[in-house]
Chains A and B, each alone.
Chain A
Amino acid sequence: MLWVNRIVGVALIVFCAALWQISDDYPEMARLFPRVMFVIIVFFSVLMVGRTFLPAAAAGGSGEGGANPAVMVRPILAFVATSLALAASSYIGFFLAMAVLAAVLVPILGIRSLRWYAFATVVLLVAVYAIFVVVLNVPLTLRPPVL
């Protein structure tokens, strides 16, 4: 966690400096408050980074989930798959894209018992169709627009 705090702290300081520059053109009252917040963020970031050099203070704030960075492979793959499915949905239709996403998640998550998973996915998509498309008139594309 030591290095995470340092990296995040420094990144936030750099970010705030860049945004400070950007806000230069804004009217005075419009940029005052964001700039106050940048100063506060930088102040806390310095504190956060500074604390990591104090031997006594614990770096604090352990994260959730597994500590080994290797556990993040599945979530990141799943996120990428979801993003791609979202991008694909404008070509192949929303529901097909979600079904493909569900299928792609099988190897990513290492699902073995397919029967329940497939059943749950179908129930989910039918429920989404019934609630959002039929009742709420949300224009989710049912089939590929090219067809």
Chain B
Amino acid sequence: MRRDGAYPPLLLALCVTVALIAAIPLLFVVGYTVSLGWGAAWRLIVRPRVGELLVNTTELMLGCMILCAVLGTAAAWLVHRTNLPGRGVWHVLLAAPLAVPAFVTSFGWVSVTGAVEGYGGALLIVTLSYYPLVYLPVAATLRGLDPALEETARSLGLGSWAAFARVVLPQLRPAVLGGSLLVGLHLLAEFGALQMLRFPTFTTAIYDQYRSSYDAQAANMLAGVLVACCAVLLLAELRLRGRRRYARLGSGAARIAPPVRLGLWSAPALLAVLGVVVLALGVPLGSLARWLVVGASTAFPLGTLAQTAGTALGLGLMAALLTTLCAIPVAWLSVRHRGRVSSTLERSTYIGNALPGIVVALALITVSIRFVRPAYQTTGLLLIAYVIMFLPRAVVSVRAAVAQAQPVLDDVAHSLGAGTISRLRRVTLPLMAPGVGAGAALVFLAVVTELTATLLLSPTGTHTLATQFWSEVRDVDYGAAAPYAALMVLISAPATYLLTATARRST
């Protein structure tokens, strides 16, 4: 709009503030390592225990990324490119595990059989929880692929398998790799599921160090190593994105490729998809239902349930509001005032995406104890943690919303006699509302089911659905834990459905 202008100072100041808040955890980790001194840091890092954790974390992460890539891609191909019966239903069911927090899935399994403890079980459960992160982008790419490319390959003499391998797979690569890296990042941050499965990784070790031995030094250094792991994944992601070319779709209706006929393979394919859905959704939700019945037969904690639900919803609403308010100036600056400064500020708000909740929590605890003592153990500090962790989701949505409200529409309204307030009310806000709302909803959902940071940061006496669930599970009172888990799933299910539905329409 103002092509010739510099950055507006007030907006810039707001954005710098937001970016600094978002950078607190990273600055803390780096600053802490530096202040500790190289020698001391080295002693804390190079220990057999750290090596053990590194091996555990890496083998779980790599195993899960590979399995998710295979499972997600295969499922997406079956559902979106073949004549598998009931594809619409399978699409929803295959995406649905996103609505079930990983710690609820692992609760469902652990409460049925102890056999899932250890590497194999952990691998199974995290894969079942996270494969939709590959399935969804691959499905979107498959639907958006121009069938003309595959047809050209066929016309050049390739068989259907060869065409798939040489033309379709290379185009899926960005989606598969991008999705797998996202799985890796989620896994590095995963705490609840792995703690329940008794498979120690960096996150669980940091928590134990902090909670049981109060060894802040060791915990902080472990956090440093964890951040380094995240940085490796993130660098891989950046490299990948730099080379990625986005297929530009024409404005006309995209032609849909004719589905591959499965023929005799229909039955095995159906069984495979059914198997995935049963393992990922059926077992956890079934056992959740069973424990609900068991719990209800003894004492249904209606009072605590309502109270913790109220707390979770309240925190969710406040965090959604606060995060969206922080996202708006950053998104506005990055869309309307393109430049090096604005893109740096925008990118710094994405740091939270790569930082595990446990690192954010640890950073805020240490920083608040050292510099702003009164803030320690307050709801405000917890809300700041949510803002840092979920700001990326809000910025992405709000950014798209600001892009919707193109400056040329502002110009047109201006020429038609609308003043500043009137333009905001009649053009800019109505256009931005859906995107801003979607961003707020994403933050709200994430907060309602957030466990790790909430466990560490919530003020004494504040219990959310997730933390109350966690303490019941710790006491091995599965029946009492079930209602909290069920409520979390119920809250996040409709929104997850809507989000996958929009993803489907936009492809």
* Pair from one complex: no
